[in-house]
């Protein structure tokens, strides 16, 4: 399929202009490729429509950890946060925070986004710009990205989770200094991405738990929303579509996210129910994150039924719907096959890349030459 | 107009519900100065306050910052009571051991459960994250808890809960402890399938569950 066709379908879905199909993506973590290897390739090749870029043998490359965060052990990012991991092929978690002691705050300096990204990987912005130009020449959509955890999560990566929660609950003034530093880094990064000519920008920040937001909507509006509005607004004003992902329940602030300028939101089914999301149908394009917990524990029939129900409830002739299905390594192969078969039946391919792909695409190329 | 005098324990409870750390310290000390037994202060002041916090969390009125602040306030009061509770009978509602299973390093949810259980008067021993079956078994032998709680955030790791329960079974100590499980991907059906005694979807309901299991 032509890149141009994929891009047009994606944009039409985003802007409610009667897309020819529902853009759908089935994503596999590196650990999933490592677990199943060639067997997974057979499934992917069977449903090639969903994986237009996949080439036989790619599984060997895809099974390798794309970044040190996916390797067992410890890794320190460019902000000084220490990540720990003991499962190859899954991303680790931050276990040591550099600003547990407020005394270090004043002298604390964020990384320089012109030179490196959040994880300390070197970035060549001219090269990125040329990459985007090439994608445009081929009729494709150019995606930029901010890391998964660009703002709210970065605040607690830096300060520590409980510490940040207590700071917010107690109205600790130094939180605002911390916010200022993270804000400035991200605004500089936004400026750099905007110069590359991207069409869509990917943001990820986990705001919810399985049952609720981590912080109240009131606190979200006080501490987080003003910055979201500022940075999403920069892209929106420049005609760049804003994609926003969050794990957990976010339906209670979806209206806020729309107000902040989000064009495509990626809510998880489970913490957010289909009935709740259905009420916001037509207000924003939804890339529904199908119930990955069910993929792990359900039967192939339950999975097929789930995907049918969600898409049936959310679809509209004019668009505004995409579907995302992520399979982790413990999902049985027959369930993966059920996911692929159903997605293939109900959706077409997407121009969208997931965060791992975005990062890998732009970084490996920038480090390895044009 | 009739003036109703609010007692110290009620003021303590209200201060805790509002997460006012210094006030909790103040009213705990005041209650002690009024010769109120430490156990009464604990039960009718701190635990009564945390009960309300639990309800507000369950009902979506409180979120994680508020719960953690109230837990901090409770600890401020508890620190004053602890030396005095040592000699009194029934100082703890019982011991609970909590751990995140092997392969999983997430512990935010577990820490919230710990805070809420402590608020309900339980002694909680947190054995950390990435805990293997041997360590769970060893902790049950060592601490003899009424309840063992296992947590997992990842679908990839939650199946290890069954490994732990099997290990307890093989060691002949499964029936010495009630087992509860929790974490985002876990549900009632899964809990039954691995042979746990209970599942709670959030920290507040975990407290209710532990109360039910330990009352039985």
Residue with tokens 């679809």: A315
Subunit contact B130:A292, Cβ cutoff 8 A: no
What pLDDT does A366 receive? 37
Average pLDDT, chain B: 92
**Chain B contacts in chain A segment 306-335 (CB below 8 A):** 328-331
- A369 HSE (CA, 13 A, CB side): 0
Nearest CA in chain A to B72: A166
Average pLDDT over residues B68-86: 90
Per CATH, domain B8-85 is 3.40.50.12140: no
Of the candidates A161, A166, A216, which has its C-beta nearest B72's C-beta? A166
Nearest CA in chain B to A209: B184
Buried b (16+ CB within 10 A) or exposed e, A122-131: ebbeebbbeb
What pLDDT does B89 receive? 60
Q: Are B16 and B45 in contact (CB under 8 A)?
A: yes
- Each residue's pLDDT, cut to its tens digit, for chain A (370 residues) gives 788 999 999 999 999 999 999 999 999 999 999 999 999 999 999 999 999 889 999 999 999 988 888 999 999 999 999 999 988 888 889 999 999 999 999 999 999 999 999 999 999 999 999 999 999 999 999 999 999 999 999 999 999 999 999 999 999 999 999 999 999 999 999 999 999 999 999 999 999 999 999 999 999 999 999 999 999 999 999 999 999 999 999 999 999 999 999 999 999 999 999 999 999 999 999 999 999 999 999 999 999 999 999 999 999 999 999 999 999 999 999 999 999 999 999 999 999 876 666 666 655 443 333 3
* C-alpha–C-alpha distance, residues A34 and A71, integer Å: 13
To the nearest whole percent, how much of chain B has pLDDT over 90? Answer: 78
pLDDT reading at B83 higher than 90: no
* C-alpha–C-alpha distance, residues A165 and A168, integer Å: 5
What pLDDT does A354 receive? 67
* Model confidence band, residue B92 (pLDDT cutoffs 50, 70, 90): confident
Q: Where are the beta strands (DSSP E) in chain A?
A: 24-28, 73-76, 82-85, 93-96, 143-148, 200-204, 241-245, 264-266, 285-289, 321-327
What pLDDT does A364 receive? 45
* C-alpha–C-alpha distance, residues A143 and A343, integer Å: 23
Residue B201 touches partner A, C-beta closer than 8 Å: yes
Residues 6+ apart with CB under 8 A from A302: A294
Which of A31, A74, A83, A87 should be substituted to probe chain B, the one whose Cβ sees the most B Cβ atoms within 10 Å?
A87
Q: Tokens standing for B23?
A: 């006030």
**Chain B contacts in chain A segment 43-72 (CB below 8 A):** none
Subunit contact B68:A162, Cβ cutoff 8 A: yes
Asked, colleague to colleague, whether B8-85 and B95-215 share their fold, the answer is no
Nearest CA in chain B to A171: B65
What pLDDT does A353 receive? 75
What pLDDT does B5 receive? 60
* C-alpha–C-alpha distance, residues B135 and A196, integer Å: 52
Subunit contact B63:A214, Cβ cutoff 8 A: yes
What pLDDT does A368 receive? 32
Ordered by where they begin, the domains of chain A are: 3-68+103-368 (3.20.20.210)
Residue B126 touches partner A, C-beta closer than 8 Å: no
The domains of chain B are located at: 8-85, 95-215
Assembly ipTM = 0.92
SS3 B121: coil
What pLDDT does B184 receive? 87
* C-alpha–C-alpha distance, residues A51 and A352, integer Å: 11
Average pLDDT over residues B38-64: 93
* Model confidence band, residue B105 (pLDDT cutoffs 50, 70, 90): confident
What pLDDT does A369 receive? 30
SS3 content of chain A, % helix, strand, coil (to 5): 50, 15, 35
* C-alpha–C-alpha distance, residues B50 and B57, integer Å: 10
Residue B202 touches partner A, C-beta closer than 8 Å: yes
Of the candidates A212, A295, A297, which has its C-beta nearest B60's C-beta? A212
Nearest to B96 by CA among B179, B164, B202: B179
For the domain B95-215, what is the CATH code? 3.40.50.280
Q: How far is A133 from chain B (nearest CA, A)?
A: 39
Subunit contact B201:A210, Cβ cutoff 8 A: yes
pLDDT reading at B172 higher than 60: yes
What pLDDT does B193 receive? 94
Which of B16, B53, B59, B63 should be substituted to probe chain A, the one whose Cβ sees the most A Cβ atoms within 10 Å?
B63
Nearest to A361 by CA among A121, A162, A50, A15: A121
């Amino acid at each position: 399929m032509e890149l141009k066709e994929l891009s047009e379908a994606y944009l039409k879905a985003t802007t409610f202009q009667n897309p020819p199909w529902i853009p759908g993506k089935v994503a596999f973590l590196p650990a999933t490729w490592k677990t199943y290897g060639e067997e997974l390739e057979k499934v992917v090749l069977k449903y090639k429509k969903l994986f237009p870029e996949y080439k036989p043998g790619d599984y060997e490359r895809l099974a390798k950890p794309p970044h040190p965060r996916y390797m067992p052990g410890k890794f320190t990012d460019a902000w000084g946060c220490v990540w720990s991991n003991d499962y190859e092929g899954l991303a680790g978690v931050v276990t040591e925070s550099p600003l547990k002691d407020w005394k270090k705050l004043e002298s604390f300096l964020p990384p320089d986004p012109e030179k490196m990204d959040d994880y300390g990987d070197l970035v060549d912005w001219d090269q990125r710009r040329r990459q985007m130009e090439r994608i445009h020449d081929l009729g494709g959509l150019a995606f930029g990205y901010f890391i998964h955890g660009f703002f709210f999560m970065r605040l607690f990566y830096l300060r520590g989770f409980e510490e940040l929660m207590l700071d917010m609950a107690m109205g600790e003034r130094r939180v605002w200094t911390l916010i200022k530093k993270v804000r400035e880094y991200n605004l500089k990064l936004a400026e750099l991405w905007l110069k590359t000519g991207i069409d869509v920008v990917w943001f990820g920040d986990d705001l919810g738990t399985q049952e609720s937001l981590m912080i109240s909507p009131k606190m979200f509006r006080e501490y987080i929303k003003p910055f979201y509005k500022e940075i999403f607004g920069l892209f929106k004003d420049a005609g760049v579509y804003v994609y926003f992902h969050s794990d957990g329940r976010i339906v209670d602030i979806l209206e806020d996210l729309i107000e902040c300028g989000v064009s495509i939101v990626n809510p998880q089914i489970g913490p957010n129910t289909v009935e709740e999301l259905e009420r916001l149908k037509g207000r924003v394009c939804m890339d529904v994150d199908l119930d990955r917990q069910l993929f792990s524990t359900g039967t192939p029939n339950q999975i097929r039924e789930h995907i049918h129900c969600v898409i049936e409830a959310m679809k509209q002739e004019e668009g505004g719907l995409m579907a995302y299905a992520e399979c982790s390594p413990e999902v049985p192969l027959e369930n993966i096959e059920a996911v692929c078969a159903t997605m293939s039946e109900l959706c077409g391919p997407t121009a969208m890349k997931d965060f791992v792909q975005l990062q890998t695409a732009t970084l490996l190329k920038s480090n390895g030459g044009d | 107009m009739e003036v109703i005098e609010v007692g110290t324990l009620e003021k303590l409870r209200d201060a805790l519900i509002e997460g006012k750390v210094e006030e909790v310290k103040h009213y705990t000390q005041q209650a002690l100065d009024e010769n109120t037994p430490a156990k009464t202060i604990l039960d009718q002041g701190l635990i009564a306050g945390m009960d309300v916090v639990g309800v507000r969390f369950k009902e979506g009125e409180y979120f994680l910052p508020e719960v953690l602040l109230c837990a901090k306030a409770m600890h401020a009061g508890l620190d004053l009571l602890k030396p005095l509770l040592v000699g009194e009978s029934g100082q703890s509602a019982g011991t609970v051991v909590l751990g995140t299973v092997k392969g999983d390093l997430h512990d935010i949810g577990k820490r919230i459960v710990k805070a809420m259980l402590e608020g309900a008067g339980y002694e909680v021993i947190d054995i950390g994250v990435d805990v293997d079956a041997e360590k769970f078994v060893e902790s049950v032998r060592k601490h003899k808890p009424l309840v063992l709680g296992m947590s997992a955030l990842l679908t990839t790791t939650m199946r290890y809960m069954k490994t732990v329960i099997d290990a307890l079974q093989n060691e002949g100590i499964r029936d010495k402890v009630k087992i509860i499980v929790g974490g985002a991907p876990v549900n009632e059906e899964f809990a039954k399938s691995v042979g746990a005694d209970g599942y709670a979807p959030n920290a507040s309901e975990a407290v209710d569950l532990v109360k039910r299991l330990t009352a039985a």
